[in-house]
Chains A and B, each alone.
Chain A
């Protein structure tokens, strides 16, 4: 069964450093997402991406964050200058979708996550 994959599984970085989290969505999916889960808190939406542009983003997704689909298969989240409070589990998700957003294609499939630790 196709699945979303993420690398690395765990990333440790120093405050102020740039990190890139990588995701390979399910191959025929059109919509891509990043969420994060700070330890002990809710899973929070960061950004959605469709047709090579951001379609929705949360207030968390400020200028320090960017997303890219560089080669038609990978989907990346870059944090330019990490802060201690960026430490979290980051989940990538993808959705098949149609232009009508019908309920049958509503399901988002999640990857296993990348645990980011900022020291």
Chain B
């Protein structure tokens, strides 16, 4: 079946640290890949996406590259800020299917 596995949280970093949140997937077919972010008290917001192998999604300083050979879509940011504190969800969608399949989420806390 289709599934997404994220690194275990919570993750706590200091401001300006380098961030990596690992995401790997199992999918039948060729999925589109997404990172969503959930700030405290809010809903899910699309952070970035990639629709085919070797595509790089980027937004707000975050990046993730679709790696078909390692079935991964790791989220990175070079210098995190306190305002990046949130829960981050990796997700996939198989072409032709309707649903998003989510990972378990990774809670990120950035300390000043």
Size band of the interface chain A makes with B:
20 to 34
Q: Is B69 an interface residue (CB 8 A)?
A: no
- CB of A31 within 8 A of CB of B98, answer yes
- CB of B103 within 8 A of CB of A42, answer yes
- Cα distance A56–B98 when bound, in Å? 7
- CB of B105 within 8 A of CB of A45, answer no
Return the contact of A48 from the options B44, B89, B99 (Cβ within 8 A). Answer: B99
Q: Is A103 an interface residue (CB 8 A)?
A: yes
Q: Is A25 an interface residue (CB 8 A)?
A: no
Known: A42-B104, A42-B105, A91-B43. A106 touches B99 (CB 8 A): no
Q: Is B14 an interface residue (CB 8 A)?
A: no
What per-residue 1/0 map shows which CB atoms of B93-111 lie under 8 Å from chain A?
A: 1011111111111000000
- CB of B98 within 8 A of CB of A110, answer no
Q: Is B24 an interface residue (CB 8 A)?
A: no
Known: A43-B102, A56-B99. A103 touches B36 (CB 8 A): no
- CB of A43 within 8 A of CB of B98, answer no
